[in-house]
Amino acid sequence: MITRRGFLGSVPALPALAQTGKRPNIVFVFSDDHAYQAISAYDGRLNRTPHIDRIAREGVRFDNALVTNSICAPSRAVVLTGKYSHLNGVIDNRQRFNGEQQTFPKLLRAAGYQTALFGKWHLQSQPTGFDAWEILPGQGSYYNPDFITPSGNRRRDGYVTDVTTDLSLDWLNSRDKSRPFMLMCQHKAPHRNWCPSPDKLSMYEGVTFPEPNNLFDNYEHRASPARKQAMEIDRDMRLGMDLKLTGDAPDQQGPVNELKRMTDAQRRIWEAAYRRRNAEFHTRKLQGKDLVRWKYQRYMQDYLACISSVDDSVGRILNWLDATGEADNTIVVYNSDQGFYLGEHGWFDKRWIYEESIRSPMLARWPGVTRPGSVAKEMVANLDVAETFLEAAGVPVPADMQGRSLAPVMRGQTPADWRRSFYYQYYEGGEHAVARHCGVRTDRYTLAHFYETDEWELFDREKDPRQMRSVYGDAAHAAEVKRLKAELARLRSELKVPEVDPDRQ
């Protein structure tokens, strides 16, 4: 059940606060499109992320960390407000965030915290509630990125993930040491078009990654939206812009938007790194499934190299906390704005209520609260981040926030009335052509309603974890469908979801 109240008042004072009288610092490292499948603490098949794994080893790994709406700007607005999209006003990537509304950084700042945000923002309006900020315009660039700052725009030399980390560490070093801080270090990486740091361009050259066993899904046994999407590696992933092919063909000019930002020296490094591998591609004349397989491998090589830099960023921040003696009094949370498809169902991108997109990686270390090496199976969400940080700071959680502090779950003392069902809604219709849908996810089932065409899907994830066969309509599941539809209606009413989508009223 989702309660509208925070947890303050009903739990004993938190150790960090109780023992030292000191309010904890907060570091929130937020990446863009980082799939949990690409963190070795979750899944060792693809890559190694030693620094993110350290958070899991010294803290908690959330195995059912969900998002309410699996797309970028909406997820960011949910984190800031602790409210669903229909209440915070950002239902898709086109909306501008109303910075006048209540956010957790504002509440922390009013309570004496120093607050800062660096990197990806994507909410169109300028950040509010921060003592310091520098943000990427829109999606931002990987190489020598432009930043919007309170005093105007500036280009910063370097690779975006490193620059964002530098800005974060510089601010930490120059802060007022007499007060606690809350830092949001928000990476662009590993967002499309997956451009690695110049020193990691060849990191995975020659490595062959295991393919997901549903790379060649034919979308049978599901409602029509799964067939009508435009996020297939086969059909929708571009050879030049996405996969760095260079050659004579117009669609093979490399990631032109990024190449034009490079210095000549950087560009030479980039060309040398891809030249031999691209030449080999041209001699092979791949077709059909072989071409899809090649695309998947190149996608993974670049995507995972981007993640390696994000992992380095986490390492630098953890090292800084150790070196300055702040580690014991600092909450560190690693999270991504949503999950991502790494070839499952033949896809890249996100947006669906299905597992790879509704689930994001979330790991937290809170000395004195999290138990080292623990795993939380409870359904938690980006909706709970604001409430968690407010409670940690001893700031009352406003009654209109819709999530719940994760502190008791982190402590291993999950309240008996923790949510057992979770409401999801996706609104955007444009790029990648995913139909609007809402639904409910429980620990076993996912019920989805594609309400524009009134189609339903039901997945029994215990029997069908890859979600390949909807059992909606099977007589054997009729009672479950009835129960979940009632739960969906109950959640919609409790969460004040309007009958008609906000942009269509």
From the list ligand SGN, Ca ion, none, pick the one residue 487 interacts with, judged by a Cβ distance below 5 to 8 Å according to partner type: none
If one asks whether residue 349 binds ligand SGN (CB under 6 A), the answer comes out as yes
* CA pair distance 398, 498, nearest whole angstrom: 22
Query: Contacting ligand SGN (CB under 6 A), which of 14, 60, 71, 79?
Result: 71
If one asks whether residue 356 binds Ca ion (CB under 5 A), the answer comes out as no
If one asks whether residue 302 binds ligand SGN (CB under 6 A), the answer comes out as no
Query: Contacting ligand SGN (CB under 6 A), which of 47, 193, 309, 388?
Result: 193
From 19-27, 46-54, 189-197, 405-413, span contacting ligand SGN (CB under 6 A): 189-197
If one asks whether residue 251 binds ligand SGN (CB under 6 A), the answer comes out as no
Shortest spacing between CB 193 and ligand SGN, in angstroms: 5
* CA pair distance 301, 303, nearest whole angstrom: 6
Shortest spacing between CB 36 and ligand SGN, in angstroms: 16
Complete DSSP assignment for 449-486: EETTTTEEEEEETTT-TT-----TT-GGGHHHHHHHHH
Complete DSSP assignment for 394-405: TPPPPTT--S--
If one asks whether residue 32 binds Ca ion (CB under 5 A), the answer comes out as yes
Query: Contacting Ca ion (CB under 5 A), which of 6, 29, 33, 241?
Result: 33
* CA pair distance 432, 413, nearest whole angstrom: 41
Starting at the earlier edge strand, list the strands of the sheet with 146-149: 152-155, 146-149, 132-135, 114-119, 181-186, 25-31, 330-336, 362-365, 60-62, 374-376
CA angle 236, 239, 240 (to 5 degrees): 120
Identify whether the C-beta of residue 82 lies closer than 8 Å to the C-beta of residue 385. yes
Complete DSSP assignment for 294-339: HHHHHHHHHHHHHHHHHHHHHHHHHHHHHHTT-GGGEEEEEEESS-
If one asks whether residue 95 binds ligand SGN (CB under 6 A), the answer comes out as no
If one asks whether residue 92 binds ligand SGN (CB under 6 A), the answer comes out as no
If one asks whether residue 404 binds ligand SGN (CB under 6 A), the answer comes out as no
Residue 2 or 434: which CB sits closer to ligand SGN?
Answer: 434
Residue 192 or 295: which CB sits closer to ligand SGN?
Answer: 192
From the list Ca ion, ligand SGN, none, pick the one residue 432 interacts with, judged by a Cβ distance below 5 to 8 Å according to partner type: ligand SGN
Residues contributing to the site for Ca ion (CB under 5 A): 32-33, 72, 337
Residues contributing to the site for ligand SGN (CB under 6 A): 32-33, 71-72, 93, 122, 139, 191-193, 349, 431-432
